[in-house]
Amino acid sequence: MGQARQLFVDMNSVALRAPPTGANLDTVPAYHSLGGISMPSRVICGDLDLPNIQERSRHVANLVLNGSYHELSGAAHLPSLERPAHITGLLADFINRCSRRRV
């Protein structure tokens, strides 16, 4: 097991053992507010993630005015831990493109 994966397993086990923190804060969806976001946004989701997470990620990218969706091949729910160099490259490219548009 890689170092990043072991860190995730350790951290996740702490969260799973913790007592409930109260009411679910996501009970009222905020999707209706996403159309008001005009800042360029990139939603990245692994193609091995759960289907409902992939669908929700595409939905969010479509609702944001300047949103875009990128499906990362071979990654599941934590692409930044599974493929950190690839994610860093995607984010750097996205930021550079956004910066050139503003000049």
pLDDT exceeds cutoff 60 at 103:
no
Query: Which one of 25-29, 67-71, 74-78 scores highest in mean pLDDT?
Result: 67-71
Per-residue model confidence (pLDDT) at position 63: 94
One-letter identity of residue 23: A
pLDDT exceeds cutoff 90 at 68:
yes
Beta strands in 3-103 (DSSP E): 41-46, 67-72
The pLDDT tens digits for 14-47 are 777 877 766 655 566 788 899 999 999 999 999 9
Q: How many Cβ atoms sit within 10 Å of the Cβ of residue 40?
A: 16
* High-pLDDT (> 70) share of the chain, %: 88
pTM tops 0.75: no
The pLDDT tens digits for 40-62 are 999 999 999 989 999 999 999 99
58 Cβ contact list (under 8 Å, min separation 6): 43, 45, 69
